[in-house]
Amino acid sequence: MQARFNTHNQPAPINWAILDDNALAARAPLQVGMAQVRVGTRGDQLQALLGSCVGIGFIWKKRGRCALAHCLLPECGEAGNDLGARYVNQAIPNMLRLMGATEADFADIEVVVAGGATMLNACSSRLQIGQQNADAARRLLRRYGLNVSYCRVGGKCGRTLTIDCNTCSYAVQEIVAGAAYA
């Protein structure tokens, strides 16, 4: 019987069973950029930096899946089959589809909404994109029968929305200009 050696300089496989919750939480969050939607599972953290954009988070504890969309604009005429999240009316059905949720599952999905700030001192209501994004999110989530458990929209400051898929929890932090961070 001959001994075989690994001569390809490949790293040893990771034994995921030995990673505890602290090791999983130490990973850097996956950034969800503008017009993107991401789905995460145990061990992932999803994060979006929001101004007038609106972040919509889905937490499905029963299946251990989470999703986060970073929406730029309220609605487009026809959402099409693009899996992005440029528009609120595009993001919500895409998130549900990517998570594998059916209408029977909607009651089990916790929804978090953040962002929608007024970032420009504009007088015209046409330029109040943040408010329009927040209104579209509320209206479309209601249309799908999804219940919002936490909503932090409006104001004049940016926010980060972070979803921890490991603990099925979320955090919304305001970004205040001139604040000192330690």
User: Which domains does the chain carry?
Assistant: 30-173 (3.30.1330.200)
Checking if the pLDDT of 167 tops 60, the result is yes
Residue in the block written with tokens 């999110």? 137
- The pLDDT tens digits for 49-90 are 999 999 999 999 999 999 999 999 999 987 566 788 999 999
**Inter-residue contact 26 to 62 (CB < 8 Å):** no
| 89 half-sphere exposure, CB direction, 13 A CA radius | 12
Checking if the pLDDT of 6 tops 60, the result is no
- The pLDDT tens digits for 11-59 are 444 444 444 555 555 578 999 999 999 999 889 999 999 999 999 999 9
Rounded-to-integer distance, Cα 149 and Cα 163, Å: 14
Q: How many other CB atoms are found less than 10 A from the CB of residue 144?
A: 14
The SS3 call for residue 69 is strand
